[in-house]
Structure 1
């Protein structure tokens, strides 16, 4: 059965939207905001509430307006202020389809929002219904221009530019899904998994009795846990020219063998089962496999 959430993610974002309406003089920035920008932000993971929050029309005082010697509370209102864990990460404004959002007064206006003392985001953007332009406060030219008409084809690049993860922890975008956790979710945990010629790029001695090693298999990251008693069996299958380096690395601080190139990796045949305990760190959950034997 196909997951309904996956169906929603796979659906074309503007499949039933008639872009001809952008040519109408009556189609203005408020329509662009609600019909186009809001669905894009929601699909990126922002909501009016929660951890990844979009704040609509936040009024912020203009810091430079005085009449005579009296300061006046004149407010500027960006369409969206995006936050992740209460941290301001992006301010973005909608403009009418006829407006230039690559340069000029519109870009200057949203830049002034981004550097406002009450905002202070490193990124800002604009959308006119036809395209989205994304800027960094430290660069003059846009860091990304995204055609709304082909947004589905370019979604990955947009996600890698302004999604909550991209704006707070971009290194996670390169994480591969965990093989063990995926198998557990699919309900195929209680069987042997045989890996033939799998390339090992690291081995870590976790303590005096336990070791773990990792590899990439079918676009998944897979971890194999094994015991001190199985180490001697493993060493038998490591090529002689690498075996001594592996042993020395595991028994000297930091007790880790890491291959720095493909030539330093080695291939193994492994039979393993999905482990019993999900591991967690600050970035992800993962489920190591337990080695049954090396073949």
Structure 2
């Protein structure tokens, strides 16, 4: 689908498009021909509190190189005035908004896996809620009047984990993180109801075990030799590149029947089976089937049958 430039007349806003899934989604929307506004806090002139090297300018350049038009705009999505100015600019320059991807996060530095609530920093936990929930609500509040001006608008709320997986396993990974990721799924459900009478749709989308820039650094590998990390963590065999979820988002944006998914939480592995796309290596990893059936079940690592 992406090679057909089906989004050539469409405008997308990838909020939180600096790196990882957000960057890949922006690029794949661009590959399908879209004009993509890429927002975030990290620019070549300054870094966000995450203090990572990736920038919105780099993402926008990748969008343009892929065949779209990338436009970087520095925005702190916790600041309503900045978000309102962003949407006013999109309206003035394009007169439309067709796809909103809410991928704002930036809370990784506050994560402490497996630590009970009362042993966590309350300030850090509340900051995570602000970064991962408030930012999405603020962005949707400003952007949806423009997106809903035409029928067919799509909101993609980025989350972590399927509805089934999160109901069984996510809570063991931390009180605040669980709230953030489940909240994104609930936001998609609520927005689906509100957009339906206007001809729009909203979904939540999750990658699997994502080989983000930070994850590759944690394991001391690159995208080219990532399988070397399975010596340290055998279950990393089910991981996927950001390209995979980027292709999932682009497939949704190009689907004239995308409303059939509205209100649901979808995964890259699930959508690969429907739309026929693959990861960079030509496989179709399904992490959310693998994790409960293999890792949580205590079975030996191995991705046979899950790719």
Using the size of structure 1 for normalisation, the TM-score is 0.28
* More helix by percentage: 2
- The one of the two structures with greater contact order (alpha-carbon pairs below 8 A, sep at least 6) is 2
* More strand by percentage: 1
